[in-house]
Amino acid sequence: MAKDMTLYWGSGSPPCWRVMIALEEKNLQGYNSKLLSFEKGEHKSKEVMDVNCRGQLPAFKDGKIIVNESYGICLYLEDRYKSKGTKLIPDNPDEMALMHQRMFEGLTLFQKMAQSLFYTRFVPENERHASAEERNRGELREEVQRWENYMKCDYLAGKHFTMADVIVFPVIAFLFRFGLCEEKYAKLAAYYKNLKDRPSIKSTWPPSWKDSPGMDTLKSL
Amino acid sequence: MAKDMTLYWGSGSPPCWRVMIALEEKNLQGYNSKLLSFEKGEHKSKEVMDVNCRGQLPAFKDGKIIVNESYGICLYLEDRYKSKGTKLIPDNPDEMALMHQRMFEGLTLFQKMAQSLFYTRFVPENERHASAEERNRGELREEVQRWENYMKCDYLAGKHFTMADVIVFPVIAFLFRFGLCEEKYAKLAAYYKNLKDRPSIKSTWPPSWKDSPGMDTLKSL
């Protein structure tokens, strides 16, 4: 089954990573794993553009079926392979509701993170303002604090690992990779450390992170 | 069942509207509908903040269960009330895949739209640049053209109405409300006109749109 699947991905990208975690959790190992380099522009190659006309990673094929957008791929895998591997959408209505909410609040966390960390990548030089950079950093701080306050259980939506963790864990890992303070955000750090060794996460850890040190951009956040 | 549900919403907001369409499609009429005014800041009232600490609409309660984020609410309703009303996630794998992809590409369409239409709302005066406004408009044009090219069938994911339509139709309606050219984007216009009279959409049409003319901001897009 998984041998007919192909995933195009880039190392360290939270959207790519979450799909790899979902594939592991659904026991869909053995897919064709195509690691591409953003730096070399390989995500704009014809091979990728044929699958994803946006030239974005992840791009995914399941046999002849194409599905892109990281949230879309994760939910497709759960809907299509419901009975395989980990059940990622809980039946319990409370957990189901919280899972859906956290999953989509994850979009805001990612957006605030990208907006602050990649300001100079997204904004042309002549349009940059110190006031905007400061505001973005303030918004990221507020958002991260919100998630710190959310942490009451072992997982994002309660006592069980769910799709919310598949989706949001890579973003939280990214924050720590960029130096987020483990003492100030102690609950998020505990969550991060707890999940780091989960097989689906350990086996998909970004290869580019293994041999290089992290950054300290968010040390004082 | 629905009488124990409460939806806080604002008129004309695509995120609010999609939840109302989902409720109709799932035959969950009769919920407590609380129409609030963004202009009066009612989305920051204690009543809303108690349900959604972000002070954002839509905010939603199903009995004692709280679930926010418009995509989250829509998927929660489908997962929880699977057997009621319209089946919004197709079983056919091709349609299922396309539905998931279009649903999440809808985030990009919405983001490009908001970034262009509400530039002055989001960017403080001293940080505004004509070059940014122009780029935003160009990106919106490219995105809308992409969706125009996508339209091959009656619905966004094929021959049937799915969650992709629930989620994205309000964004497309918003574009036409702001003057998008029906001749230039003929397939999107046909889709818009075809769905306008669907009961779930007609009965939830933004009340603030009924008695006031649209804008022509996007006329030349």
Per-residue pLDDT of B130-152, as tens digits, reads 999 999 999 999 999 999 999 99
Mean pLDDT of B78-88: 97
Specify whether B178 is located in the same domain as B119: yes
Chain A contact present for B100, CB below 8 A: yes
Specify whether A57 is located in the same domain as A117: no
Specify whether B101 is located in the same domain as B194: yes
Mean pLDDT of B92-118: 97
pLDDT in tens, A139-184: 999 999 999 999 999 999 999 999 999 999 999 999 999 999 999 9
Would you report the helix, strand and coil content of chain A in percent, each value rounded to 5?
55, 10, 35
Contact call for B65 and A103, based on CB within 8 A: no
Contact call for B69 and A98, based on CB within 8 A: no
Number of H helices, E strands in chain B: 10, 4
Task: Write out chain A residues lying below 8 Å of B94, CB-based.
Answer: 65
CB-nearest to B80 from A62, A93, A104 is A93
Rounded to the nearest angstrom, the minimum Cα separation between A76 and chain B is 6
Closest CA to A107 of B14, B165, B147, B68: B68
Specify whether B54 is located in the same domain as B153: no
What percent of chain B shows pLDDT beyond 90? Answer: 97
Mean pLDDT of B74-82: 97
A88 domain residue, yes or no: no
A107 domain residue, yes or no: yes
Contact call for A100 and B67, based on CB within 8 A: yes
Contact call for B124 and A131, based on CB within 8 A: yes
Find the residue in A nearest to B132 (Cα): A127
What is the DSSP track for A10-46?
A: ETT-HHHHHHHHHHHHTT-TT-EEEEE-TTTTGGGSH
CATH number at residue A58: 3.40.30.10
Contact call for A132 and B127, based on CB within 8 A: yes
pLDDT in tens, B104-116: 999 999 999 999 9
Contact call for B97 and A127, based on CB within 8 A: no
Specify whether A117 is located in the same domain as A70: no
Contact call for A96 and B105, based on CB within 8 A: no
Specify whether B75 is located in the same domain as B106: no
What is the DSSP track for A137-184?
A: HHHHHHHHHHHHHH--SSBTTBSS--HHHHHHHHHHHHHHHTT--TTT
Contact call for A100 and B75, based on CB within 8 A: yes
CATH number at residue B103: 1.20.1050.10
Rounded to the nearest angstrom, the minimum Cα separation between B212 and chain A is 33
The dihedrals phi and psi of B142, each to the nearest 5 degrees, come to -60, -40
Q: How confident is the model at residue B211 (pLDDT cuts 50, 70, 90)?
A: confident
Specify whether A65 is located in the same domain as A113: no
Residue with tokens 């939910």: A75
Q: What is the ipTM of this complex?
A: 0.96
Which of A23, A57, A80 finishes a domain? A80
Domain residue limits at A131:
93-210
A73 domain residue, yes or no: yes
| Integer Cα distance of B86 and B28 in angstroms | 11
Specify whether B110 is located in the same domain as B49: no
B75 domain residue, yes or no: yes
| pLDDT at residue A1 tops 80 | no
CB-nearest to B104 from A72, A94, A98 is A72
CB-nearest to B97 from A65, A70, A129 is A65
At residue B52's C-alpha, the angle toward residues A162 and B62, to 5°, is: 70
Contact call for B132 and A127, based on CB within 8 A: yes
| Integer Cα distance of A173 and B138 in angstroms | 34
Q: A84 with A28: CB under 8 angstroms?
A: yes
The dihedrals phi and psi of B69, each to the nearest 5 degrees, come to 75, 120
Specify whether B197 is located in the same domain as B122: yes
Total domains in the fold of chain A: 2
Chain B contact present for A97, CB below 8 A: yes
Specify whether B107 is located in the same domain as B184: yes
B112 domain residue, yes or no: yes
Amino acid at A60: F
Q: How confident is the model at residue B83 (pLDDT cuts 50, 70, 90)?
A: very high
pLDDT value at position B136?
97
Contact call for B131 and A126, based on CB within 8 A: yes
Specify whether B119 is located in the same domain as B75: no
| pLDDT at residue B1 tops 80 | no
Task: Write out chain B residues lying below 8 Å of A146, CB-based.
Answer: 53
Rounded to the nearest angstrom, the minimum Cα separation between B210 and chain A is 31
Q: What is the mean pLDDT of chain B?
A: 97
pLDDT in tens, A68-127: 999 999 999 999 999 999 999 999 999 999 999 999 999 999 999 999 999 999 999 999
B172 domain residue, yes or no: yes
- Backbone torsion region of residue B158, taken as left when φ is above 0, otherwise alpha when ψ lies between -120 and 50, otherwise beta: left
Rounded to the nearest angstrom, the minimum Cα separation between A210 and chain B is 31
Specify whether B107 is located in the same domain as B191: yes
B88 domain residue, yes or no: no
Contact call for B65 and A107, based on CB within 8 A: no
Which of B80, B102, B129 finishes a domain? B80
Which of B80, B108, B127 finishes a domain? B80
Find the residue in A nearest to B131 (Cα): A127
pLDDT in tens, A25-35: 999 999 999 99
Consecutive H or E run containing B150: helix B130-150
A86 domain residue, yes or no: no
Q: How confident is the model at residue B155 (pLDDT cuts 50, 70, 90)?
A: very high
Chain A contact present for B94, CB below 8 A: yes
Closest CA to A126 of B114, B112, B127: B127
Mutate to test the interface with A, among B66, B74, B80, B104 (most CBs of A within 10 A): B104
